[in-house]
């Protein structure tokens, strides 16, 4: 059983990110879906290889990857940025839910649909 990142010293996290604490892609939020575009390669960092294995069977959210690796989301975002830069994964950003401020369709389109339904 692996230990939680809270039980790990900061040294391990420092090594995993090669000393980086910033530089992650800002567009990667907790619900961004990650899709593997390649298989793990020999000599690859173990965390990078594990991400590719996990995301190879289907899209996985950043927060899910973080939970499976027992690493903080900030560290996972740095690892994912490495993989994005190498073209080994792609990110799918979820579309915002429709709201009164951002309706699914414009009022003009809805009015045209309503008129068309009345004409039936």
The pLDDT tens digits of the residues spanning 17-67 come to: 887 777 778 888 889 999 999 999 999 999 999 999 999 989 999 999 999
Residue pointed to by tokens 């996290």: 13
81 pLDDT above the threshold of 90? yes
In the prediction, which pLDDT does 20 show? 77
CA 42 – CA 48 distance, rounded (Å) = 11
Which one is predicted more confidently, 91 or 94? 91
At 3 the pLDDT is 56
**Sign of torsion, CA 40 42 46 48?**
negative
d(CA 80, CA 51): 8
| pLDDT given for residue 1 in this prediction | 47
State the average pLDDT for the chain. Answer: 85
Specify whether the CB–CB gap between 37 and 54 falls below 8 A: no
pLDDT over threshold 80, residue 11: no
| Environment class of 42 (CB within 10 Å of its CB; exposed 0-12, middle 13-18, buried 19+) | exposed
First to last CA, the chain: 64
Instruction: Output the pLDDT for position 89.
Output: 94
Helix or strand or coil: residue 95?
Answer: coil
Q: Can you tell me the distance from the alpha carbon of 48 to that of 55, in angstroms, rounded to the nearest whole number?
A: 11
CB 34 within 8 A of CB 50: no
């Amino acid at each position: 059983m692996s230990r939680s990142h809270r039980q790990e010293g900061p040294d391990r996290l420092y090594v995993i990110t090669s000393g980086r604490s910033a530089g992650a892609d800002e567009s990667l939020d907790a619900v961004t879906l990650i899709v593997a575009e390649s298989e793990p390669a020999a000599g690859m960092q173990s965390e990078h290889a594990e991400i590719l294995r996990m995301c190879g069977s289907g899209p996985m959210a950043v927060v899910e990857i973080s939970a499976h690796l027992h690493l903080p989301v900030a560290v996972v975002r740095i690892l994912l940025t490495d993989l994005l830069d190498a073209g080994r994964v792609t990110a799918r950003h979820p579309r915002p839910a429709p709201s009164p401020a951002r309706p699914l369709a414009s009022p003009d389109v809805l009015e045209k649909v309503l008129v068309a339904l009345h004409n039936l």
